[in-house]
């Protein structure tokens, strides 16, 4: 395969050591800017634990040009988004902006990196916010479990310290020490910037010179020796630890060393880990989830970066009593990974997985900027450009040698939460040193027959309607609809097939059937097994997944431009010829049941579900795509084929394709695959059923150190065009991520809520909104009162002109970034088309937002924010 990409990438360094890297792309009028400071938790000392993350919060509070905590509001007004994160190795500030605001974006980043002026009061306020954030992590059993493992496994490696710090460390932080930390590490020779998107390189150069050219380095030098000290991982003896993490549902974690990407052998252990535990093709997923059904999931969490660390293989056991068989199975599969002799084409497919992932990074400016920044942190961003050659240069013998050196010299560590290791034979945990692997043959896609859609050469323009520039629409005689958005320079194509079949068609007797029938069809066809489909998709970089909305169901994916015929043919085969294999149905059922049970372990999810049951009752076909536990438990495979006949009805299907294809090409491809599909004799109609609770306020004693407040009610229907658009603006103004009333009052003014928001969902039958806040239990009453005051004020007076303008700008700006994803765009258009909206409806979204008047906002607020209609759930 030829991986050559026309890269428009370059870099430049200023005299002060500040470097910027840029990638110029003209597809969309957007720009992603990322400013990286080379300081993270791994480089802090005992006196500065948590400072990197603390400063990530503080620098936004006040700067030279934005002294009143209003820099985020300014970004929203530009139609952009401003955020930050801290990692083990770095702190990143990133901006998403319409490209016409490039120079302003550079200026804003210089404000954060050079000119912060936070006050002592800002420090005091932010301490409460960060402590609330720590409580949120502590109340998430998965996060608490992994942080415990980090702290326990490492004895010397600084990766053992939490990025965010501890409550004690945060409370003891002094403003003067934080300012000194800022002065020490926020310096031009310790920072760099990445710019990806549509811009004039000369304008970028001039902006960088203007805002960073006169930045001076302090006299002190920085010690960078730590990253070299931990180039090799810390190898510790095997340990067996029952953690004190409280959870009703068990977790089992297995820890093995992980090499940094800086390490010459870093990619070798990544390849081995993909073979062992990453993704559905992995040994552990096939064994523990699919074959023996001992676990509902296998995931790998990386605790590494510039420093070598560990991989945490996180297992979700279906039954706490299955510890012994899980560990025995792991031991066998771990030995196969150490022997590293993958059968058939498995090794080549792992190569392809990695290279396809690399190629897809270039489809999104935000993903590409992150990839460039990651490699620059590791030493040189140009390594990114030669990644395929690096991967293809690694053979099986090299991986085997590296894995046996690092994995075999340190037996895995075993950790549990919610289950016991008592009574197990210690020999069960010991790694074998003798090769024992035996292979079973795997599917061979090279000799398997696959249908590939073909395009005719005839001119079909008479049947195609042009809705907007580069947007085309047609309908075949059987009612199958196609909407094509031509994107001339995109290397990746997005596709989505949607139907209005959904949970709303279900009755109490068929609850959950739509979820299982639409998901199970991805697990094999009458022509090919799931394993063959999986290998074929990996071979060509195809990606098809199901998505469930309340009122529609869709299958969406992406592929490389030349592979669209393969992708469409595969999607047609899965939709019209599913095998409904019993083994995979049972796997999906057990996994779905376990995931639903685990929701209770997560306070935010649990509180939201309890609030939903107030609005819709326990028995309904609205609040969950899969139904309740009792619904899922009684579902059988026998009922799925009958539901499937409605899913495959071509008269209800809408296909959308976004990519660099001519309309004639898409017409002939879709005609061959879909135009002759038969329409079934009957169909189902949507009929929501639910029962609203008589109780409008409930307080639930959860006995946690973090509380959740949920307030909400009904809202405009989706097809009430005027009020629907108005309510989207209300939602952003009240609870948007930055610059909203909740953000400014609950978080910034009072420091009561680490996280707060307002969400709006709508279908043709009704809409609903919900507001939420996470706070400490002692602050629940004040937070709830403030939330209601904000909501009632908007209900009485509507929004100010500034709020309306800022919310409109933000929504319109973010739409540009949404459009960058071909898969997301195809899905949005296909869903609207399937729900009966006009084919050009999506293309007028900007017009609908701009036309929203203060009167419409006032009307929507008066009707739908009435305090008498609130449903309030508080969990303390």
Write down how long the chain is. Answer: 876
Q: Are residues 244 and 205 in the same domain?
A: no
Between CA 696 and CA 614 the distance in angstroms is 7
Q: Is 809:629 a contact under the CB 8 Å cutoff?
A: no
Between CA 367 and CA 117 the distance in angstroms is 31
pLDDT at 417 over 50: yes
Between CA 847 and CA 855 the distance in angstroms is 17
Helix (H, G, I), strand (E, B) or coil at 309: strand
Question: 562: domain CATH number?
Answer: 3.30.830.10
Closest CA to 300 of 249, 332, 265, 258: 258
**For residue 606, is it within any domain?**
no
Q: Are residues 648 and 711 in the same domain?
A: no
Give Cα separations from 827 to 548, 553, 622, 813, 842 (angstroms): 11, 10, 21, 19, 11
Share of the chain above pLDDT 90, in %: 87
Angle formed at CA 114 by CA 109 and CA 116, multiple of 5 degrees: 90
pLDDT recorded at residue 227: 79
The terminus-to-terminus CA distance of the chain in angstroms comes to: 57
User: pLDDT confidence of 463, banded at 50, 70, 90?
Assistant: confident
Between CA 327 and CA 428 the distance in angstroms is 7
pLDDT recorded at residue 8: 78
Torsions phi, psi of 581, nearest 5?
A: -70, 130
Q: Are residues 504 and 628 in the same domain?
A: yes
pLDDT at 425 over 90: no
Q: Are residues 744 and 657 in the same domain?
A: no
Q: How many domains does the chain have?
A: 4
Task: Kindly give the pairing relationship between strand 653-659 and strand 481-486.
Answer: parallel
Q: Give the pLDDT confidence of 645-702 residue by residue, as tens digits.
A: 999 999 999 999 999 999 999 999 999 999 999 999 899 999 999 999 999 999 999 8
- 3-class DSSP string for 637-692: HHHHHHHHHHHCCHHHEEEEEEECCCHHHHHHHHHHHHCCCCCCCCCCCCCCCCCC
Q: Give the pLDDT confidence of 526-578 residue by residue, as tens digits.
A: 999 999 999 999 999 999 999 999 999 999 999 999 999 999 999 999 999 99
Torsions phi, psi of 286, nearest 5?
A: -60, -40
Torsions phi, psi of 415, nearest 5?
A: -130, 145
DSSP run (H or E) holding 51: helix 51-58
**For residue 140, is it within any domain?**
yes
Between CA 660 and CA 666 the distance in angstroms is 10
Q: DSSP string of 780-830?
A: HHHHHHHHHHHHHHHHHH---HHHHHHHHHHHHHHHHHHTT-HHHHHHHHH
6-15, 722-731, 843-852: segment of lowest average pLDDT: 6-15
Angle formed at CA 664 by CA 658 and CA 666, multiple of 5 degrees: 40
Q: Are residues 468 and 511 in the same domain?
A: yes
pLDDT at 3 over 70: no
Q: What is the mean pLDDT of residues 847-856?
A: 97
- 3-class DSSP string for 723-779: HHHHHHHHHHHHHCCCCCHHHHHHHHHCCCCCEEEEEEEECCCCEEEEEEEEECHHH
β partners of residue 874: 699, 709
Q: Is 127:13 a contact under the CB 8 Å cutoff?
A: no
- Quote the mean pLDDT of the chain: 93
Between CA 655 and CA 572 the distance in angstroms is 11
DSSP run (H or E) holding 104: helix 102-114
pLDDT at 729 over 60: yes
460 or 311: whose pLDDT is higher? 311
**For residue 691, is it within any domain?**
no
**For residue 609, is it within any domain?**
no
Strand runs labelled E in 87-245: 91-98, 191-197, 240-242
Q: Give the pLDDT confidence of 756-766 residue by residue, as tens digits.
A: 999 999 999 99
Q: What is the mean pLDDT of residues 348-371?
A: 94
User: pLDDT confidence of 344, banded at 50, 70, 90?
Assistant: confident
User: pLDDT confidence of 220, banded at 50, 70, 90?
Assistant: confident
Q: Give the pLDDT confidence of 150-201 residue by residue, as tens digits.
A: 999 999 999 999 999 999 999 999 999 999 999 999 999 999 999 999 999 9
Between CA 835 and CA 847 the distance in angstroms is 20
Q: Tell me the pTM.
A: 0.94
Q: For tokens 């959308």, what's the residue?
A: 656
What is the crossing angle of helices 513-520 and 582-598, to 10°? Answer: 130
Handedness of CA 98, 769, 762, 503 (dihedral sign): positive
Q: Give the pLDDT confidence of 245-300 residue by residue, as tens digits.
A: 999 899 999 999 999 999 999 999 999 999 999 999 999 999 999 999 999 999 99
- 3-class DSSP string for 665-678: HHHHHHHHHHCCCC
**For residue 585, is it within any domain?**
yes
Helix (H, G, I), strand (E, B) or coil at 263: coil
Between CA 803 and CA 821 the distance in angstroms is 28
Cα 866 to chain centroid distance, Å, stands at 34
Angle formed at CA 315 by CA 265 and CA 303, multiple of 5 degrees: 40
Q: Is 36:90 a contact under the CB 8 Å cutoff?
A: yes
pLDDT at 610 over 70: yes
Between CA 16 and CA 18 the distance in angstroms is 6
| Cβ burial 551-563 (10 Å sphere, 16+ → b, else e) | bbbbbbbbbbeeb
Task: Tell me which of 192, 222, 252 is where a domain ends.
Answer: 222
Under 8 Å CB-to-CB from 31, ≥6 apart: which residues?
A: 95, 96, 97, 98, 99, 101, 102, 105, 195, 196, 197, 198, 199, 365
Q: Are residues 421 and 324 in the same domain?
A: yes
Max Cα-Cα span within the chain = 81
β partners of residue 311: 256, 302
Two tokens at 58?
A: 């503080």
What is the signed CA dihedral for 494, 499, 504, 508, rounded to 10 degrees?
-110
Q: What is the mean pLDDT of residues 729-737?
A: 97
Task: Kindly give the pairing relationship between strand 191-197 and strand 19-24.
Answer: parallel
Torsions phi, psi of 279, nearest 5?
A: 90, 170
**For residue 228, is it within any domain?**
no
Q: Give the pLDDT confidence of 487-512 residue by residue, as tens digits.
A: 887 789 999 999 999 999 999 999 99
Q: Are residues 780 and 735 in the same domain?
A: yes
pLDDT at 429 over 80: no
- 3-class DSSP string for 201-237: HHHHHHHHHHHHCCCCCCCCCCCCCHHHHCCCCCCCC
Between CA 678 and CA 696 the distance in angstroms is 49
Q: Are residues 136 and 77 in the same domain?
A: yes
Helix (H, G, I), strand (E, B) or coil at 242: strand
Long-range contacts of 681-688 (CB under 8 A, 24+ apart): 683/646, 683/649, 683/651, 683/652, 684/501, 684/505, 684/646, 685/505, 686/500, 686/502, 686/504, 686/505, 686/551, 686/764, 686/765, 687/504, 687/505, 688/504, 688/620, 688/621, 688/622, 688/765, 688/766
**For residue 164, is it within any domain?**
yes
pLDDT recorded at residue 441: 42
Q: Is 383:375 a contact under the CB 8 Å cutoff?
A: yes
Structural domain span for residue 384: 240-361+380-429
pLDDT recorded at residue 86: 98
User: pLDDT confidence of 721, banded at 50, 70, 90?
Assistant: very high
Q: Are residues 497 and 594 in the same domain?
A: yes
Task: Kindly give the pairing relationship between strand 91-98 and strand 251-258.
Answer: unpaired
Two tokens at 727?
A: 């309510």
Between CA 57 and CA 142 the distance in angstroms is 24
Q: Are residues 328 and 469 in the same domain?
A: no
Task: Find the DSSP H helices in 548-649.
Answer: 564-576, 582-598, 603-616, 629-634, 640-647
Burial bucket for residue 279 (CB in 10 Å: 0-12, 13-18, 19+): middle
**For residue 452, is it within any domain?**
no
274 or 441: whose pLDDT is higher? 274
Torsions phi, psi of 401, nearest 5?
A: -60, -45
pLDDT recorded at residue 442: 43
Q: Are residues 118 and 247 in the same domain?
A: no
**How many Å is the Cα radius of gyration of the chain?**
27
Q: Are residues 315 and 416 in the same domain?
A: yes
pLDDT recorded at residue 456: 53
pLDDT at 13 over 50: yes
pLDDT recorded at residue 439: 44
Between CA 848 and CA 804 the distance in angstroms is 14
User: pLDDT confidence of 842, banded at 50, 70, 90?
Assistant: very high
20-34, 543-557, 779-793: segment of lowest average pLDDT: 20-34
Q: Is 539:557 a contact under the CB 8 Å cutoff?
A: no
Q: What is the mean pLDDT of residues 824-837?
A: 97
| Plot region of 751 (φ>0 → left; ψ -120 to 50 → alpha; else → beta) | left
């Amino acid at each position: 395969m030829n991986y050559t990409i026309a890269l428009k990438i370059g870099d430049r360094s200023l005299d002060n050591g500040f470097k910027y890297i840029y990638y110029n792309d003209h597809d969309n009028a957007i720009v992603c800017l990322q400013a990286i400071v080379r300081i993270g938790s791994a480089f802090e000392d005992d006196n500065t634990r948590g400072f990197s993350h603390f400063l990530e919060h503080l620098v936004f509070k006040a700067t030279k040009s934005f002294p009143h905590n209003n820099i985020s509001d300014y970004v929203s007004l530009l139609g952009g988004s401003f955020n930050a994160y801290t990692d083990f190795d770095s702190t990143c500030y990133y901006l998403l902006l319409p490209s016409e605001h490039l120079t302003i974006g550079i200026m804003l980043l210089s404000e954060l990196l050079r000119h912060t002026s936070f006050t002592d009061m800002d420090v005091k306020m932010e301490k409460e916010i960060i402590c609330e954030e720590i409580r949120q992590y502590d109340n998430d059993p998965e996060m608490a479990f992994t942080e415990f493992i980090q702290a326990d496994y490492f004895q010397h490696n600084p990766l053992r310290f939490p990025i965010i710090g501890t409550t004690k460390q945060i409370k003891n932080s002094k403003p003067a020490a934080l300012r000194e930390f800022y002065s020490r590490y926020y310096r031009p020779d310790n920072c760099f910037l990445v710019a990806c998107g549509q811009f004039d390189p000369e304008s970028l150069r001039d902006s960088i010179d203007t805002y960073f050219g006169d930045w001076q380095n302090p006299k002190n030098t920085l010690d960078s020796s730590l990253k070299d000290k931990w180039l090799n991982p810390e190898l510790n003896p095997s340990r067996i630890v029952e953690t004190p993490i409280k959870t009703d549902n068990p977790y089992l974690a297995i820890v093995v060393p992980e090499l940094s990407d800086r390490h010459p052998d870093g990619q070798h252990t990544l390849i081995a880990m993909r073979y062992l535990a990453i993704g559905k093709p992995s040994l552990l997923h096939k064994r523990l989830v699919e074959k023996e059904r001992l676990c509902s999931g296998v995931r790998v969490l990386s605790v590494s970066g510039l420093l070598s660390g560990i991989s945490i293989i996180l297992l979700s056991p279906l039954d706490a009593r299955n510890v012994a068989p899980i560990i025995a199975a792991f031991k066998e599969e771990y030995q196969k990974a150490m022997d590293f002799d993958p059968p058939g084409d498995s090794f080549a497919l792992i190569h392809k997985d990695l290279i396809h992932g690399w190629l897809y990074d270039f489809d999104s400016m935000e993903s590409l900027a992150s990839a460039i920044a990651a490699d620059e942190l590791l030493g040189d961003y140009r390594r990114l450009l030669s990644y395929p050659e690096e991967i293809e240069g690694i053979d099986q013998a090299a991986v085997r040698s590296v894995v046996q050196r690092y994995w075999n010299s340190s037996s895995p560590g075993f950790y549990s939460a919610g289950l016991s290791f008592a009574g197990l034979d210690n020999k069960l945990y010991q790694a074998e040193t003798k090769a024992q692997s035996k292979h079973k043959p795997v599917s061979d896609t090279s000799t398997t027959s696959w249908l590939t859609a073909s395009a005719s050469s005839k001119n079909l323009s008479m049947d195609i309607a042009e809705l907007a520039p580069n947007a085309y629409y047609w309908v075949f005689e059987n009612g199958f609809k196609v909407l094509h958005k031509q994107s001339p320079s995109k290397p990746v194509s997005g596709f989505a097939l949607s139907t209005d079949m959904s949970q709303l068609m279900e009755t109490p007797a068929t609850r959950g059937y739509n979820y299982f029938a639409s998901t199970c069809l991805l697990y094999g066809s009458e022509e090919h097994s799931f394993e063959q489909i999986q290998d074929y998709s990996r071979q060509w970089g195809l990606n098809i997944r199901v998505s469930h909305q309340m009122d529609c169901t869709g299958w969406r994916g992406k592929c490389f431009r030349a592979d669209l015929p393969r992708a469409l043919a595969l999607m047609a085969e899965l939709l019209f010829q599913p095998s409904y294999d019993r083994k995979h149905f049972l796997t999906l059922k057990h996994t779905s049941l376990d995931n639903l049970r685990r929701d209770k372990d997560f306070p935010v999810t649990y509180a939201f579900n309890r609030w939903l049951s107030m609005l819709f009752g326990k028995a309904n076909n609205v609040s969950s795509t899969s139904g309740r536990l009792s619904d899922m438990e009684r579902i059988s495979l026998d009922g799925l084929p009958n539901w499937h006949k409605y899913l495959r009805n071509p008269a209800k299907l809408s296909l959308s394709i976004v990519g660099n294809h001519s309309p004639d090409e898409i017409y002939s491809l879709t005609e061959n695959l879909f135009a002759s599909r038969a329409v079934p004799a009957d169909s189902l109609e949507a009929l929501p059923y639910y029962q609203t609770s008589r109780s409008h306020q409930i307080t639930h004693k959860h006995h946690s150190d973090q509380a959740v407040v949920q307030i909400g009610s009904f809202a405009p229907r989706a097809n009430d065009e005027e009020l629907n658009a108005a309510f989207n603006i209300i939602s952003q103004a009240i609870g948007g991520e930055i610059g909203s009333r909740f953000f400014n009052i609950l978080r910034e003014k009072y420091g009561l809520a680490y996280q707060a928001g307002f969400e709006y969902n709508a279908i043709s039958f009704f809409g609903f909104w919900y507001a939420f806040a996470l706070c400490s239990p002692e602050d629940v009453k004040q937070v709830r009162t403030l939330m209601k005051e904000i909501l009632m004020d908007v209900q009485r007076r509507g929004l100010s002109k500034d709020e309306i303008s800022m919310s409109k700008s933000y929504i319109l700006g973010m739409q540009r970034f949404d459009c960058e994803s071909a898969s997301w765009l195809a899905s949005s258009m296909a869903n609207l088309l399937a729900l009966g909206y006009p084919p050009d409806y999506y293309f007028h979204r900007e017009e609908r937002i701009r036309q929203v008047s203060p009167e419409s906002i006032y009307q929507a607020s008066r009707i739908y924010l009435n305090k008498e209609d609130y449903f309030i759930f508080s969990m303390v």
